[in-house]
Amino acid sequence: MKKLSKNAKSNAVTYAIVIVFYIVMQILSGSGTLSSSLTGQLIPICVYICMAVSLNLTVGILGELSLGHAGFMSVGAFTGVIVAMSLQASVASGPIRLVLAMVVGAVMAAIVGVLVGVPVLRLRGDYLAIVTLAFGEIIKNILNNLYVAYDAEGLHIRLLTAISKSELAEGGFMIINGPQGATGITKLSTFTAGFLLMLFTLFVVLNLIQSRSGRAIMSIRDNRIAAESVGINVTKYKLMAFVVSAALAGMAGALYAMNFTGVAAKKFDFNTSILVLVFVVLGGMGNIRGSIIAAAILYVLPELLRAVNDYRMLFYAIVLIVVMLVTNNPTLKNGVNAVWTALKGVFVKTVPVPEEGGESDE
Amino acid sequence: MKLTKALALIMALAMMFALLTGCGGSGNSASAPAEEPAADTAETAETAEAAEPAAEEAAEPAEDVMVFHIGGVGPLTGAAAIYGNAHNNGSQVAVDEINALGGSIQFEYKFEDDEHDPEKSVNAYNALKDWGMQILVGPTTTQPAIAVGAEANADRIFLLTPSASSTDVTDGKDNAFQMCFTDPNQGITAANYIKDNAVGEKVAIIYNNADAYSTGIAQSFTDTAAEIGLEIVSTTTFTDDSANDFSVQLTEAKNAEADLVFLPIYYTPASLILAQAKDMEYAPIFFGVDGMDGILDLEGFDTSLANGVMLMTPFNPWGTDEATANFVDAFVDAYGSKPNQFAADGYDCVWAIYEAIQEAGITPDMSNEEICDALIATFTGGFTFNGTTGNDMTWSANGEVSKAPIVVTIQDDIYVNN
Amino acid sequence: MAFLSNLISGISLGSVYAIIALGYTMVYGIAKMLNFAHGDVIMVGAYMCFCAMNYWGLPPLAGILLAIIICTLLGIVIEKLAYKPLRAATSLAVLITAIGVSYFLQNAALLIFKADPKVFPSVVTLPNLRLFDGSLIISATSIITVIVSAIIMVALTLFVSRSKTGKAMRAVSEDKEAAQLMGINVNGTISVTFAIGSGLAAIAGVLLCSAYPTLMPTTGSMPGIKAFTAAVFGGIGSIPGAMLGGILLGVIEILGKAYISTELSDAIVFAVLIIVLLIKPTGLLGRKINEKV
């Protein structure tokens, strides 16, 4: 009973962070004090938070390293674009098209998740990691050679050979044009949509973690053999976590694509997968709230560093290394804790807050 | 909660950073920034430091001059950094020249990095908006330009890109203009030139199928070739991830007995293709497009490999006309190397905007929308521009430039006009 | 004939992958970490050799030696500053640190050497080998690349199996605690492994850039990822596995391009990798490790 309420409290705090973030941003943007730079970053921040939270399900909760999360994002993005653009004539309402795009994107990403997951989840550790990386590269390569067009006769989908405008019926248009990607997307994503997607992602992931299935998944992470021996169906639960994670990434991908007029396969490469992984690891494995905070801060950081011009990415790298060292090296960690306590003593003169339970980052 | 502590520390550090370096960031909305040049001189100086000279003259505008905020966006880091840097340097030279003229129009210029990523490009664009950008020169590359173009169109900010050459950049956006040829245009012109001058009988194409620019030219070249009866015997591709070994592509071209290899790609992979073809003792005519420009300036490149290479370029750094000679001298003074066409396009963009501002009588206290509309009216209203990348350039209503491409042959380390 | 020529290109490309993969696999075998900065050490090595030959006028051999020395030192410094403090941390924490180091090296190189690509000077000046009346031409660079790779592989195998340090390395990779109990300096051995791996990276950088002579701050990253794939392909942690994996990857890449599709060559390489791993889950020569209950 006590455990339950602790979880509920921890969840409430997580939701509250997201909601407060939304409200504050809305108020700031309503009053016109929000810079264009930050306004433009709001939707990507939402997308990356959803990506980080969903990847945390695979990496933190299931305990399998995935280096191809951007692959699922791209499946969702491209499917979403196809859906939204083909429905442009038949569905007038933008928000409904966006939702449809996100749902179909999620379904498609989930299907690909199953296709990849069934064979791949038999592998362990770094071998699984490399296969997810390989999968991400394959998807990218295929999408680079995918041509999709839409006209009165419906969708034309072709691999490798370009579709020329003259082949299409009157009023037809290209949706995806190989390496040029999708262009001419109507911008449908809004910050509110991003906010709702964050809430949805959190709802799915937190409920999954704290359900019976979630405990089964974590038991596999902690000790697969023991889990197997008490009758947990390892394959089923592994696949469940993996597919849910893929579907959520697909949704985030659709939202991402609808935020720009153009989206190309190049974006969803190894580096994007790694970027999201950095959010997860820095936020703490299995720590959902950590993922949210880390994604938001690390996304904004390179933008704040624009002031230092050429040295921007160099500083970013240094910050990354230093933070990893500080959070993972016992000596340095104690040093920082001491500084922190001292600072706290100066600013907040209260009794120490008890450590937060629930999600821990082993 | 150790994580939160660490993150809070980074955040605090980052904030301090942002404050210390005086980033104009939050709270500074985009409207009417023209009256605050003093606040921004520090930044200009910072940008100009990289460019070494000319910062001094640029620093102190007199009271009655009109200062425009010109922004630039392009990749300064990452794999495409060469193009963004060239663009930035070229534009910087033009800005310094204009400011040194001491006329009533002065430019404040700021360039932001986009890592050749549409998402980062929009972020860079927004950061410039906060800085008070009124006119955008950029983005350098196609995909970012498409994404930023839509944003700029919604914000009514005038955009002139030096080198983003896809038709998608200008499609449906009245505020977006190009300084370079469009991709289809290059493909069509190249195919016709080869056919008309009988440069080659059997053509092989090697292009980068992960790149919008390269694919765009290759597609229109193939279509045109089919129309005019130019025989294509081999078409092969590579991607950025496999841009080191071209033996397969070259072997295929060689076995198909191609006597001309069309390379609608950038000069870096092209330099590898030339070297590997020599190793294979395969010596067709290599025919490049504007992306090939710059190959002679590759540090350490054995320029004899490029002898006989033909390319279509708007810019000849060995050109003897006054505009080109002046620009090349100024650029070499500032950066120690010859400019390529990215730099020349960047340079021309700034000068074109300067002349258009004069012609339209635009003042910096106008809103972005007024400036944008006035510039659109000027550019599409018979404005002609003479620059380093062409003479008598005019722009069509959909933003495409019309200028004559020249085909040059590389001979003994210089371009010889055909 | 075309097949032979493609095969030779494949082996030559594969040899480069193999040497890079060796660096990955040695470090993985001992420290159980994926050193994502390895590809960037290659880039540093290539730049050093480039500078030595182009700016300081040193002969090629001296340039290569200098590159090896500097990369070895760099490897030691990186290990001391970034990885050693994390000896007790999870392997993922180290992975992210390695990514940070990789960003750092790339961006530092960008600031120092600027973005313009440099063309690597030719280290090999021998004429091409012509066989069958000139219908098969093999470039001297390919031959040298293959020979050098072969020599390195043999030397490394001998070193690891015969020398005292090599034995210590194997012991540490087998069981850190037990090795420590036997009086082996575990930390020292890990540092030595890093040093050797980074020295190899310098050679790989020179070979890579001799064969494909453009040099940019991002030069090392894609070959790095491919070589990492090769290491896993062959069974990560296994030295012969890295060699086999590297060469096979190069051959598959070239033959896939030549006979299936140039458009989908990347997909083909990775698809073969996935199939191999599904059949042999620990790679071609990887050892199956029984899980302890």
Set out the domains of chain A in order of their start, with CATH numbers.
2-347 (1.10.3470)
| H or E segment to which residue A105 belongs | helix A94-120
pLDDT, tens only, C105-135: 998 998 888 877 888 887 777 777 777 766 6
Is A329 within 8 Å of C86 when comparing Cβ atoms?
Answer: yes
Q: What distance in Å separates the CA atoms of residue B341 and residue B186, rounded to the nearest whole number?
A: 15
pLDDT, tens only, C157-189: 899 888 988 889 888 888 888 888 888 888 888
Is B268 in CB contact (< 8 Å) with chain A?
Answer: no
Confidence of residue A257 (pLDDT cuts 50, 70, 90): very high
Residue C18 confidence (pLDDT):
92
Burial C233-272 (b: 16+ CB within 10 A, else e): bbbbbbbebbbbbbbbbbbbbbbbbbeeebbbbbbbbbbb
Within a 10 A sphere around the Cβ of B304, how many other Cβ atoms? 11
Is C121 within 8 Å of B301 when comparing Cβ atoms?
Answer: no
Q: Which residues of B touch C105 (CB under 8 A)?
A: none
Beta bridge partners of A174: A149
User: Looking at chain C, which subunits does it touch, using at least 3 CB pairs closer than 8 Å as the criterion?
Assistant: A, B
What is the pTM assigned to this prediction? 0.83
Q: Which residues of C touch B209 (CB under 8 A)?
A: 262-263
Q: What distance in Å separates the CA atoms of residue A75 and residue A267, rounded to the nearest whole number?
A: 12
User: Across the B/C interface, how many CB contacts are shorter than 8 Å?
Assistant: 108
The answer for residues whose C-beta is within 8 angstroms of residue A341's C-beta and 6 or more apart is none
Nearest residue of B to residue C263 by CA position?
A: B237
Three-state DSSP at B389 gives coil
Is A287 within 8 Å of B241 when comparing Cβ atoms?
Answer: no
Is C119 within 8 Å of B77 when comparing Cβ atoms?
Answer: no
User: B147, exposed or middle or buried, with CB in 10 Å at 0-12, 13-18, 19+?
Assistant: buried
Residue A199 confidence (pLDDT):
92
Question: Spelled out in words, what is the top-level CATH class assigned to the domain B184-313?
Answer: alpha beta
- Domains B33-181+332-402 and B184-313 fall in the same CATH topology: yes
Nearest CB neighbour to C214, from listed B236, B255, B271: B271
Is B248 within 8 Å of C262 when comparing Cβ atoms?
Answer: yes
What is the CB-side half-sphere exposure of residue A298 using CA atoms within 13 A? 31
CATH assignment, C2-114+140-279: 1.10.3470
User: C29, exposed or middle or buried, with CB in 10 Å at 0-12, 13-18, 19+?
Assistant: buried
Terminal alpha carbon distance of chain C? 55
B413: distance to nearest CA of chain A, Å?
32
What is the CB-side half-sphere exposure of residue B417 using CA atoms within 13 A? 10
C136: distance to nearest CA of chain B, Å?
9
Is B26 within 8 Å of A287 when comparing Cβ atoms?
Answer: no
Is B122 within 8 Å of A40 when comparing Cβ atoms?
Answer: yes
What residue segments make up the domains of chain B, in order of their start?
Answer: 33-181+332-402, 184-313
Q: What distance in Å separates the CA atoms of residue B75 and residue A250, rounded to the nearest whole number?
A: 28
DSSP B205-238: EEEETT-HHHHHHHHHHHHHHHHHT-EEEEEEEE
Nearest residue of A to residue B172 by CA position?
A: A184
- List C-alpha distances in Å: B302 to B272, C54, C107: 11, 13, 27
Residue C70 confidence (pLDDT):
93
Q: Both tokens of residue C51? A: 């500078």
Digit-by-digit pLDDT tens for chain B (418 residues) are 445 555 555 655 555 554 444 333 333 333 333 333 333 444 444 444 444 444 444 444 445 678 899 999 999 887 788 889 899 999 999 999 989 888 888 899 999 988 888 899 999 999 998 888 999 998 998 889 988 998 898 889 999 999 888 888 888 888 899 998 888 888 998 999 898 888 888 999 999 888 888 888 998 899 999 999 889 999 998 888 778 888 888 988 988 999 999 999 988 889 889 988 888 888 899 999 888 888 888 888 888 888 889 988 888 888 888 888 889 999 999 988 888 888 999 999 999 999 998 888 888 888 888 889 888 988 888 888 888 888 888 888 888 888 877 888 988 888 888 7
Is A312 in CB contact (< 8 Å) with chain B?
Answer: yes
Residues on chain C bordering chain A, Cβ-to-Cβ distance under 8 angstroms: 28, 34, 82, 85-86, 88-90, 92-93, 95-97, 99-101, 103-104, 106-108, 110-111, 225, 228-229, 232, 236, 261, 263-264, 266-267, 270-271, 273-274, 277-278, 281-283, 291, 293
Q: Which residues of B touch C205 (CB under 8 A)?
A: none
CATH assignment, B33-181+332-402: 3.40.50.2300
Among candidates A154, A255, A109, A280, which has minimal Cα distance to A195? A255
Q: Which residues of B touch C134 (CB under 8 A)?
A: 281
Nearest CB neighbour to B210, from listed A179, A183, A310: A179
B residues 358-387 closer than 8 Å to A (CB): none
Q: What distance in Å separates the CA atoms of residue B182 and residue A180, rounded to the nearest whole number?
A: 14
